[in-house]
Amino acid sequence: MMIRTIFTVSLLLAAFSAGAEQASQDDLNWLKKIVVATRQSDYTGTFIYQSGSYLETSRITHIREGENEFEKLEGLDGERSEVIRKNDQVWCYLGDSKVMVAKREGARTFPVLLPDRLDLLQENYLISHGEEDRVAGYHAISFLFQPKDRMRFAHKFWAFSDSGMLLKAAVLDENHHVLDQYVFTQLQIGGDIDRKWIRKENFAAAKPQANSENDSPQNLKPVPVESGWKVNALPDGFRKIAELSRYMRGGDHPVIQLVYSDGLAGISVFIEKVGQKPASRLGLFSKGVSHVFAKMQDGNLLTVVGEVPPRTVMQVAESVRYEGARK
Amino acid sequence: MKQDISALMDGELCDEEADLLLGRIRQDEAASKDWQAFHLIGDVMRQPRNLPGNLGAGFYARLAAEPTILAPQPRRQSRFQYFAMSAVASIMAMAFLAWFAMHIDKAQPDVRMQQLAQQPASSTPLAEGENMDDYLLAHHEYSPSTELRGANSYIRTVSVNH
């Protein structure tokens, strides 16, 4: 009898955990749907970006034509500003001048949420779908990413319940106060969307970069390195996704950059030799959800940046060590 | 010590540890300053527009002694020089750069700052072009937050401008 009870209980437990996993898988599928919908659909709309008391309104138009993806972003406040993008090429309009900002050789597929990235997300966040809501007139389903510890922020996304188009996104602190968010106030998905701007000439004859300092160190691409620098007290769930040697804007010496990710938030560690030159900006800084902590260590300036709480950038900065070249 | 204080404020210490630490904070002047600074940071994070009135004259004095940090750095470089920045890692990052570049010229105060009490105040003027925004920018090229938010991700850079 006892054995049978235990057997039944284990069966129930197994069924329960399988059910929980299934629900989570549904949520993950929804996330993939959000990513695909936001990149594959045609849409045009106005959104508000808010960070603290700062507010800005922009209009975005996104067109998918055949294999090509076009995007136009216009700032609606202040001075006229516009960015247009065709796949991996980006141009800026500043008043009357058009400038090609960057171009990447070779095709690049659109970034998607890869399976391993999703695993990483589940490791660090409890993913749940929350209440239904209405955003910009669309019926929306919300998803909450609740961090499993206090080393990262919570994220919440609202998606159109039909196509999965992302309608609203917010980063929340531990008391679920909004730190920053963007939200569509008006959105048209599909239908008659202005396509005149995607005509060829808009994307053809752009001036190359206005400054021809192509050989200066600042224009060198970041290169992967094994620097020998390590973060000893990396918060759980963060994994290294890049280790680079690069030049900062206007800098004449290489800077090591280590990048870590937990699937939603990123942390970069910058290490640069400054010798005895006093670094002028040490301490903790914040900008929206991003926090920066800078400190000196044996003639090196360490700068840690991430969309994580202050304690996280500080913990990382305090545990950066040089452990020499890998043996 | 600072990590302990942070843990205490987050309610991560047990009662005995908390009592012990509070005792040390009361006796240790440096720790006491850390404690105040951490709370100030917390207050600023939570309610940037409603700073507590009793910050202590010392904090404002230090803040006042930091002209280079709160004052906008006048941009003497051509705005186009911004576009000559290093090659970027992803499409989104490029759009990010573009958006950033357009907003940088407005020359408003950049990084809002909460200086830790224990950091020595430095009056060294910032070198031309030296700027925390560069680090934010370089970081965002690789940050997953840029990727997940997809096409709209670079709007966060707008905040660089405020």
B78 or B14, which is more confident: B14
Please tell me the predicted confidence (pLDDT) of residue A73: 82
Is any Cβ of chain B less than 8 angstroms from the Cβ of A306? yes
Condensed to tens digits (0 to 9), the pLDDT of residues A292-301 reads 999 998 889 9
Q: All domains of chain A, ordered by start, with CATH?
A: 6-204 (2.50.20.10), 217-322 (3.30.200.100)
B88 or B112, which is more confident: B112
Which letter does DSSP use for residue B74 in this model?
P
Q: What is the mean pLDDT of residues A14-21?
A: 44
Nearest Cβ partner of B95 from A79, A83, A311?
A83
Under an 8 A CB cutoff, do B148 and A264 touch?
Answer: yes
Please tell me the predicted confidence (pLDDT) of residue A136: 94
Instruction: For this complex, say whether ipTM is above 0.85.
Output: no
CB-based contacts of A133, cutoff 8 Å, min separation 6: A140, A141, A142, A158
Query: Which residue of A lies nearest to B120 if distances are taken between CA atoms?
Result: A282
Please tell me the predicted confidence (pLDDT) of residue A154: 93
Most confident of A182-186, A207-211, B50-54, B70-74: A182-186
Tokens of A261: 């990710």
Under an 8 A CB cutoff, do B151 and A60 touch?
Answer: yes
Indicate which of A216, A239, A272, A281 best probes the interface with B, i.e. most B CBs within 10 Å of its own CB. Answer: A281
Please tell me the predicted confidence (pLDDT) of residue A113: 39
Q: What is the mean pLDDT of residues B61-75?
A: 53
A247 or B44, which is more confident: A247
B150 or B45, which is more confident: B45
Please choose, from the candidates B86, B92, B158, B82, the residue with its C-alpha nearest in 3D space to the C-alpha of residue A255.
B86
Residues A305/A219, Cβ–Cβ less than 8 Å: no
Query: Please, what is the average pLDDT of chain A?
Result: 77
> Which residues in A lie closer than 8 A to residue B80 (C-beta atoms)?
99, 209-211
> Which residues in B lie closer than 8 A to residue A310 (C-beta atoms)?
41, 45
| Backbone dihedral angles phi then psi of residue A301, each to the nearest 5 degrees | -95, 120
B9 or A230, which is more confident: A230
Under an 8 A CB cutoff, do A242 and B69 touch?
Answer: no
Which letter does DSSP use for residue A191 in this model?
S
Q: Is B41 exposed, middle or buried (0-12, 13-18, 19+ CB in 10 A)?
A: buried
Measured at the CA of B111, the angle between CA B108 and CA B117, to 5 degrees, comes to 130
> Which residues in B lie closer than 8 A to residue A92 (C-beta atoms)?
83, 98, 101-102
Indicate which of B91, B99, B100 best probes the interface with A, i.e. most A CBs within 10 Å of its own CB. Answer: B91
Condensed to tens digits (0 to 9), the pLDDT of residues B4-36 reads 877 777 777 777 888 888 888 878 888 888 877
A326 CA to chain B: closest CA distance, Å? 24
pTM higher than 0.95: no
Lowest mean pLDDT among A4-8, A162-166, A322-326, B72-76: B72-76
A115 CA to chain B: closest CA distance, Å? 13
Under an 8 A CB cutoff, do A292 and B136 touch?
Answer: yes
Query: CA-to-CA distance for B94 and A200, rounded, in angstroms?
Result: 20
Query: Amino acid identity of B28?
Result: D
Query: CA-to-CA distance for A118 and A108, rounded, in angstroms?
Result: 21
Query: CA-to-CA distance for A122 and A125, rounded, in angstroms?
Result: 5
Report the DSSP pairing between strands A300-306 and A266-273.
antiparallel
Under an 8 A CB cutoff, do B87 and A211 touch?
Answer: no
Indicate which of B145, B146, B154, B157 best probes the interface with A, i.e. most A CBs within 10 Å of its own CB. Answer: B145
> Which residues in A lie closer than 8 A to residue B145 (C-beta atoms)?
264-266, 307
Under an 8 A CB cutoff, do A282 and B145 touch?
Answer: no
Three-class SS state of A69? strand
Please tell me the predicted confidence (pLDDT) of residue A31: 76
Under an 8 A CB cutoff, do B80 and A39 touch?
Answer: no
Please tell me the predicted confidence (pLDDT) of residue B122: 33
Q: Has residue A308 got a pLDDT over 50?
A: yes
Whole-number percent of chain A with pLDDT over 90: 24
Under an 8 A CB cutoff, do A285 and B151 touch?
Answer: no
Query: CA-to-CA distance for B67 and A255, rounded, in angstroms?
Result: 27
Predicted confidence band of residue B94 (pLDDT cuts 50, 70, 90): very low
Please tell me the predicted confidence (pLDDT) of residue B56: 58
Condensed to tens digits (0 to 9), the pLDDT of residues A125-177 reads 888 888 899 999 999 999 898 999 999 999 888 989 998 888 888 889 888 89
Buried/exposed code over B79-88 (b: 16+ C-beta within 10 A; e: otherwise): bbbbbbbbbb
Condensed to tens digits (0 to 9), the pLDDT of residues A31-80 reads 778 777 877 889 999 988 887 777 888 888 889 888 888 888 888 887 77
Q: What is the mean pLDDT of residues A207-236?
A: 69
Q: Has residue A252 got a pLDDT over 60?
A: yes
A179 or B129, which is more confident: A179
**Helix A2-40 with A115-124: angle, nearest 10 deg:** 120
Is any Cβ of chain B less than 8 angstroms from the Cβ of A286? yes
**Helix B2-9 with B29-46: angle, nearest 10 deg:** 50
Under an 8 A CB cutoff, do B95 and A182 touch?
Answer: no
Please tell me the predicted confidence (pLDDT) of residue B57: 59
Query: CA-to-CA distance for A84 and A103, rounded, in angstroms?
Result: 12
Report the DSSP pairing between strands A290-297 and A283-287.
antiparallel
Under an 8 A CB cutoff, do B103 and A268 touch?
Answer: no
DSSP one-letter string for A219-252: GSPPEE----EEETTPPTT-EEEEEEEE--TT--
Under an 8 A CB cutoff, do A90 and B97 touch?
Answer: yes
> Which residues in A lie closer than 8 A to residue B157 (C-beta atoms)?
none
